[in-house]
Chains A and B, each alone.
Chain A
Amino acid sequence: MLDTSKAAQLVLDDGSVFPGISFGADKSVSGEVVFNTGMTGYPESFTDPSYRGQILVLTYPLIGNYGVPGIDKEHNLLKFFESDKVHIRALIISDYSNNHNHWNSRKSLAAWLQEHNIPALHGIDTRSLTQKLREKGVMLGKLVNGTDVRLEDPNKRNLVDEVSIERKQIYEAGKKRVLLIDCGVKYSIIRNLLARNVTVIRVPWDYDYSRERYDGIVISNGPGDPKMCKATIENVRQSIKEKIPILGICLGNQILALAAGANTYKLKYGHRSQNQPCIDLETGRCYITSQNHGYAVDTKSLGKDWKPWFVNANDNTNEGMRHKRLPFMSCQFHPEAYPGPVDTNFIFDRFLRMVK
């Protein structure tokens, strides 16, 4: 019976230690420790490039239940994932399901994490850990699996550069052409555009797109501090001048804000969940949204030509903005979902209506 699995631990910057059992790759890593309260969708979450550099704590205790799907492709994109890589630095959970079951699963979560060289711990009191992060804010931490490592702040690196595409790629799907600035794009954003018969020109985060032919711009989600994306901000500032329709998503919302002269700041512990209520200030309607961000746009800093579009019903932070006259819009949440509710999918339609 006796457990052959290996004891390992999570050590936080404040010195607190959470002992657990290792079930992923056999290595030690450091990162920023963040929590997500979603109850389903781990294959999607772990491949979301916005998690770059982060040690992810899942508050829902039972993980791994339905295994991990295969690497089927559609439009030359992995069908069941949000990128080609597992981006989380490490995974921290309470109860790992040693035995999974699902018709579409091809391997266990443990096997998949090991394959991608991602360490993971189970048997952690994730509720206590989350409470600590809630009270003290996100903090650095390390998963120590044998050899110790130094704490490193991933936000000091240009994480976007690490996850963005290396060279331009085109996905043909129709006459309308959208330029997608890949700051760490989730495949579902591309899928949503393709499903609406839009050709997607996916370019690196710092790509000079002045010579490209396109009808609108989407600035994608991505990891880290938006202020690191100086080149993107500069390019977008130019596009604003050219009055090209722009949609910003998540990090894209922040980049658009910065390009428009507004400011961004770091949240205490961010929004990472699938149940964030956002109120559309134009209609009063409330939407349940999927979110993954640690920084936010400072609403007060918005210029007079801009107005907030959505606001978070729980903490009143900015969840999106619009230009009062011109075709620029953005949202802080993920209208493409995956994981999470797809209620705000209409954002893509709204945007595409503005695109010529």
Chain B
Amino acid sequence: MAKNKQKPKINKPKKVLILGSGALKIGEAGEFDYSGSQCLKALKEEGIKTVLVNPNIATIQTSEGMADTVYFLPVTPYFVEKIIKKERPDAILLGFGGQTALNCGLELDAQGILKKYNVKVLGTSIKAIRLTEDRKLFSEFLKSIDVKTPKSRTATNIEQASQVAQKLGYPIMVRSGFALGGLGSGVARNQEGLKLLAAKALAYSKQILVEEYLHGWKEIEYEVVRDSKDNCITVCNMENFDPMGIHTGESIVVAPSQTLTNHEYHKLRQISIHVIRSLGIVGECNIQFAFDPHSEDYRVIEVNARLSRSSALASKATGYPLAFIAAKLALGYSLSELDNSITKKTKACFEPALDYVVLKIPRWDMQKFREVDTKIGSEMKSVGEVMAIGRKFEEVLQKALRMLSIGVEGLACNALQFDDLEHELENPTDRRIFAIAQAFKEGMPVDAIYALSRIDKWFLYKIKHIVDMEHNLKMYSLSKELLLKAKQLGFSDNQIALLKGKSELEIRQQRKQLGVMPFVRQIDTLGAEYPASTNYLYMTYNSGQHDALPLKQKAAIVLGSGAYRIGSSVEFDWCCVNAVLTLQQLGYKTIMINYNPETVSTDYDICDKLYFEELSLERVLDIYEYEQPSGVIVSMGGQIPNNIALKLHNQNVKIFGTSPVNIDRAEDRHKFSQLMDTLHIEQPAWKEVTTVEDAKRFAETVGYPLLVRPSYVLSGSAMSVVFEEKRLIEYIKKAADISREHPVVITKFIENAKEIEIDAVANKGALAAYAITEHIENAGVHSGDATLVLPAQRLYAETARKILDYSSKIAQSLQITGPFNMQFLAIDNDVKIIECNLRASRSFPFVSKVMKRNFIDIATKTMLGKPIPPFKNGKLSYVGVKAPQFSFTRLKGADPVLGVEMSSTGEVGCLGKDLNEAFLKAILAVGFRLPKKTVLLSTGPLKTKLHLLEACTHFKELGFTLLATEGTHKFLKEHRIPATRVYWPLDKKQPNVMQFLESGSVDLVINIPKSSEKIELDNDYIIRRMAIDRNIPLLTNEQITRQFAHALATVKPEQLEIKSWQEY
């Protein structure tokens, strides 16, 4: 139709402000980099000027070529108002930066700021957003349009909550309004439990909801899109494998729904459309249902009037670019005016038909935290997710479990032990799925497993198929038929190898001889009804032919970073995407392999071919052999690709850049240590041990404290510092469980040292670019949790010289070509190396953006043997600070102290004219609130008390009221700093610290941990945990406290500069 081809006329804004979501945190992660980036692309296409506020420096959306202007500043009304005043945008988008952006937008509206500066809200109106965000209004509104919601009442205090609960009957669900990821919600089984929950929920929100508990109901979601002309479609529906009671972010989710009949599917679809129309949503939104498994009764649980984690998943699951379309709809386009970007033939006004099944599994990192409760429920605790695509449920389940990279081989062939299987099935933890498999192995019937887990029997039967196949593989010889069936059920070569007592490569060989090969399939949004013009691909054995021809030309594969987890998140995605962009500039066709639905790298318009696939040796070889590209880049996706580099190399895969043999020399401690000896570079004393005796002997030689860890890990998993023999022995025993293959490494732990990092690129062994950053915290805090400063402000010239010298020597001897990162300890000018990674690191985006030199671009060029511009390490006239984002509020019980184990979930990077300014912006950007009146001090052992004396003086001079625990109080008194003494929580005496914390009269808690008596440890823990649960800012590190006090004394918050990245 000629009419349709014309460019429709809309009233476009000239300049649009987009709010990002800030640092990655539990409940708000990489999915908003995806949605924000798509939004920017959509606006750019229209010639609209864009201003982005997002302190998350590691994102694609804050990269060059995305927004016209970027502010690395906190997404808070205070800063956003100043940016509006300066930039004068005519419109704002609130739906692309998660709950952070939405909350900020609501506040800007409430304060009249949007009106004052005449900024129009595009897309869904503020009024509609408010309706969806206020639980009471929402539930009343749905009632008015004849839509059912859970029976519930709101409460504003504990007493009221308890009355409502009485009326509705236990068990009962408690939720807090205005909270992302179900924060502060839970199930109460009696009045006592209710009081606890209600108190906690009320700490985050003025209003809570007490509602009927829909135990065992199915949980179903729809992603709905509506335009301003009232066209309304559901792009995808999804079914939770885990029934109600488990947050959808914590659930295994399948798309499309599997257990709904046509009538049920369309009943819920129709309600979705009815609700979304009535609310007047323009753009994209998500609606969640509880659905009775024994009738067609339903409840609407919630509507998210913005792009969400689910919409990112739905986008990747269907190939429908929800965020991109939502941005266009916000501008006023209608659905039928927009094209389907996969087929480029059909329209965006359609509902994708899948001819495959998609499964998402959350990735948890519970073992990283001390004291944490591992139960999963109505609050989010997971830090990332994976998505698998296939043509059988069994296949995607096994694929997805492997993708988690938690050391399991899929559902079968794992040696997980359960003390109480029934309890495990009924009270879900992150291991429930394995408990189900184990239950089948032990002969438990489907009905019994259902009765405990309430997981729909259809899913359970599928799990049983896998367990049955595991049995068959053990029992029968490996015929072609059996092998094919196993592969169709998602068994990896390695799983089969384990069952057959062979090696993975032997099975691979046998499989290829038998001609059992996977096929490349395409996501086309229309179930093959129309051909697709994009290469969004997966591999499956449930097929008979390939969709996409091999590239067989000048092409490069980039291996992605897998699930976001603690220690590896959006920063590696930034590296991968930037490598792809450079490869394209160099004239290479690009192939991306990754399986994380929250990423930009898995947008099919980033590369020539996207394989949404496993990053395993098996699958990478499958793809490599099929595509026959020029080579593979393994150094951008963090540790997962790094770990298979040598194996790929041994299979004659061409690896670009540093030779995998040299990567191994850096990864293998013995080889690396030898190299350091020959280069005369010092390392802290270390030893590999497998027995307690060896460990004790080493401890005697070098003395405590000691750092202990298993070898070959990223982000210090299961790392610990031990100060005494008892703990050392405990650790060695526990570590034996974690990794049987690799021994424990014990290193002398050096106290009071500075930690310095170098992020660099080398070309054939010569340094081609580098950045030296220093940590504010002393060594001992994991580098991922540390606050980084660039350029280093307090570094001796001699230390810097030594670091550069050592780095050059190492680059030369390992013949590094590409990115690398090293970490050093320095006491005075005594420098020791502690870490060397021949790959891009977490801080590459930070240093690239602060220095305005794209290190990944340089690295990619060196790896491809292309010329690079000369590197000048000129002086910067500003300072960048990278600060960690913690999610302790999410992790019930976790002790929020910093240590050698990484525990932060994200980061921000802010720029300032000096360290103090940049530091304040950075901590404000991770949600820190500056104290107004009262500071609670427990400053730890005498040494830190002394070190913090100046800080305490600053606090006094700033006019704060100081509360101090016993020792600190005494110390302050001796130094004539007035403070009120408060008793320890376990003292049970008044005035007690707990009463101040509970009443909300403390603005800042400074609690420096001590390493002495148990009771003091407990007291400290209670205070820290209370601060977290009551959402009171908390500092636990001496150096950070000093930096904070100094910054506060030097910079007035209102003087913080509002400068865009481009203006520095």
Contacts and interface: CB of A to CB of B under 8 A. Distances in A.
A65 interface: yes
B1 to A, nearest CB: 5
Nearest to A270: B529
B270 interface: yes
Interface string A95-109: 101111111100000
Contact of B229 (A41, A97, A284, A337): A284
B441 interface: no
Interface string A60-98: 111001100100000000001000000000000011011
What is the interface of chain B mostly: helix, strand, loop, or mixed?
loop
Contacts of A43: 261-262
Contacts of A131: 528
B295 A103 contact: yes
B1 A316 contact: yes
B171 to A, nearest CB: 23
A275 B347 CA distance: 11
B530 A314 contact: yes
B231 A286 contact: yes
Nearest to A124: B544
A268 B975 CA distance: 91
A208 B739 CA distance: 83
A172 B230 CA distance: 36
A41 B261 contact: yes
Interface string A25-68: 00000000001011111011000000000000001111001100
B350 A314 contact: yes
Contacts of B355: 37, 59-61, 126-127, 130
A18 B293 CA distance: 37
B886 interface: no
Nearest to A64: B458
Contacts of A99: 457-458, 461
A223 to B, nearest CB: 20
Contact of B347 (A40, A44, A277, A284): A277
Contacts of B544: 18, 125, 128
A1 B458 contact: no
A134 interface: yes
A61 B392 contact: yes
Interface stretch (A110-118, A151-159, A209-217, A339-347): A339-347
A285 interface: yes
Interface in B296-335: 334-335
B270 A286 contact: no
Interface in B332-355: 334-336, 345-347, 349-355
A156 B261 CA distance: 35
B839 interface: no
B641 to A, nearest CB: 30
Contact of A101 (B350, B461, B526): B461
B335 A39 contact: no
Contact of A40 (B4, B260, B542): B260
Contacts of B350: 275-277, 288, 313-314
B261 A66 contact: yes
A275 B343 CA distance: 15
A286 to B, nearest CB: 4
Given A59-B353, A94-B542, A274-B353, A286 B334 contact: yes
Contacts of A284: 229, 334, 336
Contacts of B531: 134
B116 to A, nearest CB: 36
A39 B354 contact: yes
Contacts of A39: 256, 353-354
B299 to A, nearest CB: 17
Interface in B515-547: 521, 526-531, 542-545, 547
A5 B476 CA distance: 19
A279 B528 contact: no
A61 B230 CA distance: 33
B458 A40 contact: no
A311 interface: yes
Interface in B65-117: none
A338 interface: yes
A292 interface: no
A273 interface: yes
A125 B545 contact: yes
B458 A59 contact: no
B231 A61 contact: no
Contact of A341 (B256, B269, B543): B269
Nearest to A100: B458
Interface in A307-338: 311, 313-316, 337-338
Contacts of B895: none
23 contacts: A1-B472, A37-B526, A37-B527, A39-B256, A40-B262, A41-B262, A43-B261, A59-B353, A59-B529, A60-B354, A60-B527, A65-B458, A69-B261, A94-B391, A103-B294, A125-B542, A275-B353, A285-B230, A286-B336, A313-B336, A339-B266, A340-B262, A341-B269
The 9 closest A-B pairs by CB, nearest first: A41-B262, A37-B527, A99-B461, A125-B544, A59-B527, A37-B353, A286-B336, A130-B528, A101-B457
Given A44-B262, A101-B457, 15 more contacts: A1-B468, A1-B475, A18-B544, A39-B256, A40-B260, A59-B355, A66-B259, A94-B542, A101-B461, A134-B528, A275-B353, A277-B350, A313-B347, A314-B347, A339-B262
